[in-house]
Structure 1
Amino acid sequence: MKAEQIALVQKTFAKVQPVSDKAAEMFYQHLFELNPSFKSLFKKDMKKQGRMLMQMIEFAVKGLDDPETILPAIQDLGKRHVGYGVKEEDYATVGEALLWTLEQGLGSGFTQEVKEAWGEAYKLLAGVMINAAKGCK
């Protein structure tokens, strides 16, 4: 990722953080609309799940400046998702739900440049998770 893209992701995530509970709720609602079968993957309290999601996104976004520091945790997350039943093709749907949520939350601030920056960030992180998951098989 380019430094400008990293800065843009970090700047826009800072705008989402104050409404992180609502953003997580919107994300999961849209994710389940895109693929209702995903509901069966989540057996926990969804508010707690939403907080965990936002904490992990915050961790990843802050670490984009120095990806080596976050790689082990992102790889571990990918490995854990194998046990939850997540398949490689599921990552595209999650990415779509993430971008939709950001678009809803940022409104006119969700420019093409922001969309591309978040797309690159997600592609990078999902790629690490997918590769780690492949190592589990």
Structure 2
Amino acid sequence: MTPSQVALVQASFAKVAPIADAAASLFYGRLFEIAPDVRPMFKSDISEQGRKLMATLAVVVNGLAKPESILPAAQALARRHTAYGVTADHYAPVGAALIWTLEEGLGPDFTPDVKAAWVAAYTLLSGVMIDAAAEAPASA
């Protein structure tokens, strides 16, 4: 990611943070719409899961300028997710739901450059996570 893309992701996320609960609700609604097979993976309160999602996104977004500071945590998260049945195929609908949510939440502020920056961020992060999950032991 370029420094400009990092700045775009961080600035746009700052606009989403005040509506974090609504954004999380939009995200999970969209995810379950486009990938209904993932719904059974979420056993706990979806509101609590949404808060965890937004907190994780905040950490990732704030660490994008120094990806080496966030990638080990992302790798560990991916390894834990394998225990819930998450596979590499699940990352595409998650990314699609994230981009859709940002577009809905940011409205006209979701410019083509902002979208490209988020796609770059998600591509980087999901690639690292998919690789880490593939390396996880089967009993993870």
TM-score over 0.5 for the alignment? yes
How far apart, in 1, do the equivalents of 2:122 and 2:2 lie? Answer: 14
How far apart, in 1, do the equivalents of 2:102 and 2:3 lie? Answer: 20
TM-score after normalising by structure 1: 0.98
1:67 aligns with 2:67: yes
1:2-21 map, 5 Å:
2-21=2-21
How far apart, in 2, do the equivalents of 1:68 and 1:2 lie? Answer: 15
Q: Deviations over 1:89-133 (max 9, x none)?
A: 110000000000000000001111011000000001111110100
Q: Which residue in the other structure is 1:123 paired with?
A: 123
Structure 2 SS opposite 1:89: helix
CA drift of 1:55 comes to 0.4
Q: Which residue in the other structure is 1:102 paired with?
A: 102
Give the letter for the 2:43 counterpart.
K
1:57 aligns with 2:57: yes
Percent pairwise identity: 53
Q: Which residue in the other structure is 1:45 paired with?
A: 45
1:112 aligns with 2:79: no
Give the letter for the 1:75 counterpart.
Q
Structure 2 SS opposite 1:86: coil
CA drift of 1:37 comes to 1.2
How far apart, in 1, do the equivalents of 2:127 and 2:89 lie? Answer: 12
How far apart, in 2, do the equivalents of 1:107 and 1:36 lie? Answer: 26
Q: What RMSD in Å do the two structures reach over aligned CA positions?
A: 0.6
How far apart, in 2, do the equivalents of 1:15 and 1:50 lie? Answer: 17
How far apart, in 1, do the equivalents of 2:5 and 2:112 lie? Answer: 12
Structure 1 runs of 4+ off > 4 angstroms? none
Gaps of 5+ in 2: none
CA drift of 1:12 comes to 0.1
